[in-house]
Amino acid sequence: MKVLVAYGSQFGSTAQIAERIAQVLRQEGHESTVAAADQAPDPSTFGAAVVGSAVHAGHWLKGAAAFLDRHRSSLASRPVWLFSSGPVGDRGVAGQQPDPKEVTKVRSSIGARDHRVFAGSFDRATADFSGLGLVERTVVRRFLSDGDWRDWDAIEAWARGIGRSLR
């Protein structure tokens, strides 16, 4: 089956998660296309979709949220899985993460089969701050911890489950 994996990523961590999901789907025998949500093709040409975004202050990134809104009817007519990434730091990763507001808003209307929150990563040395305003840059610099908290085994297991359910 052809599967679209669309994502919104600020600093690259979510893009890497999307790439890994697509890789596992290919291993499971599915053709998968990975694209940033603001450049992704129309999901109506795919049999299924996986859509994810980094989460900032309880919200998906604008490009990923706009993708869900723009393609709501198309997504509702095919199997869809959602994922979020973003808790970083030992305290953030340890706690239960609520669904981002955009996921809560569209989850039932598109019939999403699942939504998972995966921990993210952040590397201050390689982060591109150019798209951030002064307040966002200040928050990121002061409150985000450097490190990688992604659980690749959990991400791959989730993607394998998607691949199996699409057979």
CATH number of the CATH domain containing 8: 3.40.50.360
Q: Using CA atoms, how far apart are residues 48 and 115, in angstroms rounded to an integer?
A: 15
Q: What is the mean pLDDT of residues 74-82?
A: 97
- Euclidean distance between CA atoms 91 and 95, whole angstroms: 7
Report how far residue 73's alpha carbon sits from residue 71's, in angstroms, rounded to the nearest whole number.
6
Mean pLDDT of 65-91: 90
Residues 6+ apart with CB under 8 A from 67: 6, 8, 37, 38, 40, 51
Average pLDDT score over the chain: 88
The number of folded domains in the chain is 1
Would you say 22 and 52 are in contact if contact means Cβ atoms under 8 Å apart?
no
Residue 41 CA to residue 50 CA, distance in Å, equals: 13
pTM of the model: 0.89
User: Averaged over 10-33, what is the pLDDT?
Assistant: 96
Determine the pLDDT at residue 130: 67
Give the structural domain span for 66. Answer: 2-165
What mean pLDDT is predicted for residues 81-99?
76
97 burial class (0-12, 13-18, 19+ CB within 10 angstroms)? middle
Assign residue 111 a region (left: φ > 0; alpha: ψ between -120 and 50; beta: otherwise).
left
Higher pLDDT, 84 or 126: 84
Positive or negative: CA dihedral 133, 72, 88, 23: negative
Say if residue 140's pLDDT is above 80.
no
